[in-house]
Every structure is written in C-alpha cells, then in structure tokens.
Structure 1
C-alpha cells in the first residue's frame, strides 16, 4: 500500500493557500541555490556513501558490546530515541537481554549514577554527540564517563569511546585527535534537529540492527526531486512538502498557531517529540510560528483531546496513521453483552476504529487536519516521514520570511547557565543574573 496524504479535512477552502502556492517558482530557485552551494545537506546527503561504509565497519566493532550509552541532547538524541522506540521495541519488553541502547539526554544525576553503577564497562561503548563539541550538558557527562572508563579499562578506554562532532574544530575533535578516539563528523550546515539521517542517528540505528539502507532510501524518495539542478516551480508546487508548507503558512495567517502531531502508530509516538523540536526550534522566531503539540493515540484521547476538541479554535493537526498495523490477538467470544461489539475481532482493529473516530471528531470540531497515512510501518516509511516533515519545515520557514535553520533565542539561556557556573567572560550575563537573583521575590508556601 502506498504512503498517502489525505487532504479531505484540511479546510483548504477556508485558507489563502494560493498566496503561497504562487511563490513556488521563488522557492524552487532558492532550493536550487542552497543545494548547489552545499547549504542543505539534509536534502542532498553528500556524506552518505562514506558514512555507510563507516557504519558497515562499525557494525563489526559493535559485536563486542552489549550496551551503547549515547550522550546527547535535543537533536543529538531525539531522532535516535524515535528510531529506537519504533524499530527496537524489544528493549522495553519482558525478558530482553542485549544489545541495549541507553540515552543520557538530560542533566539527570539519578540516571547517570545508575549507568556508572550498573553498566559493565567492558561491554559498553559510549557515544558522545555534539556538533560544536561544547554542549556542556553532553560534554559534562563525557568527562565523567571518560574518567569511569579510564578507571575500569586502563589504556583500553579509548576503544570504548566514539565521538560524533565537527570534522575540524571544537573540544571533542581535539579529544579525538589527542587520544586517537574514533570520531565521525557532523557535516557543516546540518543542524541537530535535521541530523537524524547522519552519523548522529544512524550510529545508534546500526547498533540496534535497524535497516539503514531502507531509512535512507525512503528519505531519498522524498528529497530526490528537490535536489535536481533544473527544479522548477511547477514541479515543486506538486511536491507534498511544499503543499504542507503552503498549508502551514496559510494556517498561521488565520490564527491557527498550534500544530498537533497526533500519532496513531503507537511505536512511532516518539516521532512526535522529534517533530516538536524540529517545528518549534525552526519556526518559533520573530514573534511568529505555531506551537507543536505531540499527542499519542489512543492514550491522549483520554487526556488532552478534550482541549483539542472543545478548546480554543487555534489548532491544526498532522494525523499519523497506518492501516497495516499488526492484528494482534483476538478478543474472546465469551464476553459480556455490553462488549459484544468486539467479540471475535482482532485487537488491532480497535486502534483503527479509534483513529477514525478521533480524526472525524477533530474535523467536525473545526480542526484543520491532514492525515499522513503510511502504507507500512517500516524503516523506509520512517525515512520518508523524516524527510517530508524536515523539508516541509524548511519551506514553511522560508514562506514565513524567517530562517528555519538557526535557533538564536536558545543561546541566551545557555549563556546565562554558563554565567551561573562562573564561566570566564559573560560579564553582561553575570550582571543580569545578579540583578535577577537579588531582586525582591514574591515567594509563597504551598
């Protein structure tokens, strides 16, 4: 079954999508310019042939390890976790032994102490991911794991380390050069939220045995037409990524400033968290953008769906489904009469019915909705989804008149945190911090 977008409930007739569709030639020209200049490796993937060879070599090395501990945050971890949950669910199931992927993506002393105490250092490889090599939440954990490995492994500690960072500069690149640690590059112009189909996400995928070729094949099916030297506005106008971008930009013009990502493929629910960073960090700029809201079907029908259905009419929805999910066990024939409607039916039919009911209810309650209907729930389809949403995000940003590839506001909080830790320099931030901490506070017990 083919992968489809169902636009029936998108409310396109209520939106001024035509204003953005008229800009297809302009957007095609910008894509031609950016790809030819090497500024969109998310689309062109010029690094892939070399990376696949490196991953093939690493897979042999990984056979000596039971555990991979991934140190990363934000885009350095969200894609890996989405792939893990989607295609390596056995780690969350009873009686699973190894291999195991552990992701340290927060400043969490409880979790870090558990890794140090319970992981076998002789069977663990630590992968540290930071493009800049200076992300303190990640590099700080690297310092601690480095000491742990040196203590338990002696001179062999470097064989249990893998770095993913800038090809030429930064602290982690210096560590690789100084100690001879194997390091793979994060290509220039590839921001973390767009990096899942690079070494950032594909190293843990290779460790788990996920079909990397299928992931990349799916992505290339989406981005291939957009990287042609002769890309025209006419071709772009028919591309699903541009159609989603025009829809998203037109929605914001009408006050739809929240975008729900409702996943009715349970194992793919973590793609909602990946999408939330992608959408928020790319488009939340200059007072513009729509707030992404990850939601899990069926779980969130019993929680936040009340707000979606009956709250402020400012929400649109990307609704993820797959009609070919496993059938599962059958409901028994001997059931109370009040449940006779599920007698002898497959358990898997229930999520399909729930998805249909929720999708119809959202549409009837004024939520513009595009259904992303995947023909299968395999790696190729995941690659297509990653490429489709990433490309649509870039095009949406350009249509909005903002840069979807930077994240300037995020840096302020990072500088203030460094000032709190008394990092060198940052005198202005330290003064602001002192003013904030010494101001009169309105504090009340509860």
Structure 2
C-alpha cells in the first residue's frame, strides 16, 4: 500500500539550526505528556470517541429519516463540516443530486436565512445547532428563529427535529436541551472550535451525509496517537512529521516568511484551505507574531493570485496538497486542432497532475519554500490523518513561538463590542469605546 508522504525536497532553509530544535523537542515532549494527561489536548488523545462513536451509531437511523440538515454554526463550528461535505459528499453541487442535502448557516445573512425558512420542508428537516459555549449570538440567534419556525409548522413534534452540540454541562444550549428535552451531544472540555472537526461538531453532518466516521477518526488516531503516548520522549517527537512541520514553519517566520500558502491540487478538498486558514490564523496570530494563511486552489488560482506568489515579495512559503489517485475523467477526443494535439487521447484528469507539477516547480524556482503533502488516496482515512497532522503541527508551532495556540484573545474584543452595540447588559467599558468611536469626526469621501 502506498504511503501518505511529506516531500521536503524543496522545503528550503538548509541552514536551519537543527540542534536548537532537537533540544526543544525534549521540552515539548514533556509538555505534551503533561497536557495530554490533564485533559488539555483532547484533539490528540481523542478518548472522547469511545462514547461518541456508539452514540452516533444510535443516532444514525434517526438522522437518516431526514432529507435536509440545516447546520447552524460559525467558524470552527462550520468550516470543518463544509470541508468534509465538499470533499466526500459533493453531489449537492452537481446536476441530478437526489439527497441528502446539508445546508450550513455560517454567517449573519438575512437573505440566506429567509430562503431556508421559505423553502425547506420542516417535516423533512433536522436543525443542528453547534456552539461550544452555547452563547455565540450569531448561532444562538439563528436557533431562536429556527425554533419558532419548527414550532409553527410541527407543533409539539418540533423537538424531534432538533439536535444541539454544545458543552457537556454549561451554557444556554445545554440548559435548553435539559429544559426542552432536545437531543444533545457534548463538545469535550478544552476542545476549541478550530480543533473540533473530528468531534460531534463535524461528525454529525458527516454521518448524515453517509461518510465513514470511523475511517476519519482512525486516520486521525494514526497520526495523533504517538503524540498522546504517555511515554513520548524528545527523540520520538523530533521524528514526528507534525514536529518537523512546526520546526520548518517556525524557522520560516524567524527568517521573515510571514505568509503561508495552502495550495490544494485535489479539487474536492479545496475547502480544506479555508479550514486550515482559521486553524493557522486563530492559533498563531498572537503578540505581533504569526504568518498569514492564504488558501489557494489549483488550478483555479494559477489564473488569479499565482502571479503574486511567483513574482511578488519573497515572504511566502507553501504547503502543497496533492494526490496521484484522482479521477481520470473523460478522455480528450482524437479530433483536435494541431495546436492542442499534446492532449489528444489523454484523460482530462491528467491536466491536474501536469498543472500541479508545473506550479510546484515554478514556486520552487521562484524561491518559495515548499513542502508537498501527498495523499496516496484522497479518501476519508487520509483526510483524518491530514486533520490531525495539521492540528498537531499548529499546536507545536505555537509552542515553539512561545505563544498559546489554543486561545483567541483578540477575537473576543470584537464580540464584546458587537454585544455592546446591541445593548447587552454590562460591558460599560465597551459601550464607552463605541460612543467614542462613533462620535469621532469622520473623514469620508464619495466614490
């Protein structure tokens, strides 16, 4: 069986101080043992799956009774689910799809919400609300509206069309589950949204769409288990690909490479770039540090942003996702103009491999440090491995940067200001800041 591989051939930074990072591997191995032991890194230990997978098995017949799932969530509560949907259940975007349908309400978009209310058949729809805290106003606000919609159309049966994914013991949604008798699944403690795709957050929609949740989680465990081993030592950590990626990324930032391209040459997996962007940005953008993630899709973005990658500032590195085992597609006809004779009789799918190779070589020739992530097959097990690898690499990169990669303090300010603008109780400091901001002399120009 062909292995999934990291290809370091064009990674650059040959003068990196390996000895320095080997020394830190011992320190970080101890930190991993401590934090795994105290339950701080559930996305590596994944012990919550022993209860979750059987519960998903019990829920599966109920979920299969619906044609539509409307997922209410934002950020990490939606990006992973969308990446999995696009990769492994893409029929909804293609002609002739007969269901099931997953709709993701991941923004404050009144027009979208009104379309769901107008067109979804309530009797064939399950509404899944995902918020770890149970207080995310964008998500809980939509839940209030959908709850009323279900009640109006289904009466007392509305509760059988709802599922809440939230904290195990705290928050409004957990209280709602208890008070209303609504089905609920827990998000484990210390599992932030951007690390949560292989919990109920992402696995519930994956199950609804018919994906193999065990393959996803087994793939992830294959990568994560060595890092969650209570006997982990520095030498073993130093050899783990997640640590090697972290060392590479940290050294790049130190050398001034402050943008990280995630270039996907597996078209169905394009949305993994958006999932990675949140993971990387929200984890590492702290105290003036970090590198800006840039999702890019091959070959589409060869014709848009690749000019900047190739000939713009020399501040970019690249993670380049490929697989040799993609669909071959239809064959080009033999009757072609001579100018296009080079594709005569070839499979359409050969284009993606040729274009990917050309772009990879051009980036490397242009001085872009590049690591290829090559999946032997772009299947669900490989996706689980990829999710775990990038999650662990992000965590370890943050530790090498001496920042906390599992919080997002700057994001919270915007949330408090929004609540203050809407009149939430308290938040007097934020309300004063709003008054000062809105009362400032404007410098405006018509266009």
Structure 2-normalised TM-score? 0.99
Contact 2:22 2:234 in 1 (8 A): no
Contact 1:15 1:251 in 2 (8 A): no
Aligned to 1:70: 71
Distance 1:18 1:94 in 2: 55
Distance 2:87 2:144 in 1: 31
Distance 1:139 1:413 in 2: 17
Contact 1:62 1:207 in 2 (8 A): yes
Query: How far off is 1:20 after superposition?
Result: 2.1
Residue segments in structure 1 that go unaligned for 5+ positions in a row: none
SS of the aligned residue for 1:260 comes to strand
Aligned to 1:429: 430
Distance 2:18 2:214 in 1: 36
Encode CA deviations 1:337-384: one digit per residue, 9 max, x unaligned: 000110000111110000000000000000000000000010000000
Query: How far off is 1:98 after superposition?
Result: 1.5
Distance 2:268 2:286 in 1: 31
Query: How far off is 1:46 after superposition?
Result: 1.2
Distance 2:346 2:226 in 1: 43
Distance 2:104 2:340 in 1: 41
SS of the aligned residue for 2:35 comes to helix
Aligned to 2:180: 179
Encode CA deviations 1:29-71: one digit per residue, 9 max, x unaligned: 1110110111100000111011111111111001211000000
Encode CA deviations 1:371-398: one digit per residue, 9 max, x unaligned: 0000001000000000000000000000
Q: How does 1:129-140 map to 2 (within 5 A)?
A: 129-140=130-141
Encode CA deviations 1:156-177: one digit per residue, 9 max, x unaligned: 1110000000111100001001
Query: How far off is 1:97 after superposition?
Result: 2.2
- Name the stretch that deviates more: 225-234 or 291-300: 225-234
Contact 1:330 1:346 in 2 (8 A): yes
Aligned to 1:141: 142
Query: How far off is 1:287 after superposition?
Result: 0.6
Distance 2:229 2:117 in 1: 49
Encode CA deviations 1:110-134: one digit per residue, 9 max, x unaligned: 1000000000000000000000000
Q: How does 1:157-196 map to 2 (within 5 A)?
A: 157-196=158-197
Q: How does 1:19-98 map to 2 (within 5 A)?
A: 19-98=20-99
Tell me whether 1:378 sits opposite 2:379 in the alignment: yes
Distance 1:20 1:268 in 2: 32
Q: How does 1:5-404 map to 2 (within 5 A)?
A: 5-404=6-405
Distance 1:280 1:14 in 2: 27
Residue segments in structure 2 that go unaligned for 5+ positions in a row: none
Distance 2:374 2:153 in 1: 49
SS of the aligned residue for 1:131 comes to coil
Query: How far off is 1:277 after superposition?
Result: 0.2
Query: How far off is 1:22 after superposition?
Result: 2.4
RMSD: 0.7
Structure 1-normalised TM-score? 0.99
Contact 1:319 1:370 in 2 (8 A): yes
Query: How far off is 1:17 after superposition?
Result: 4.6
Query: How far off is 1:248 after superposition?
Result: 0.5
Encode CA deviations 1:259-315: one digit per residue, 9 max, x unaligned: 000000000000000000000000000110000000000000000000000000000
Distance 1:430 1:221 in 2: 49
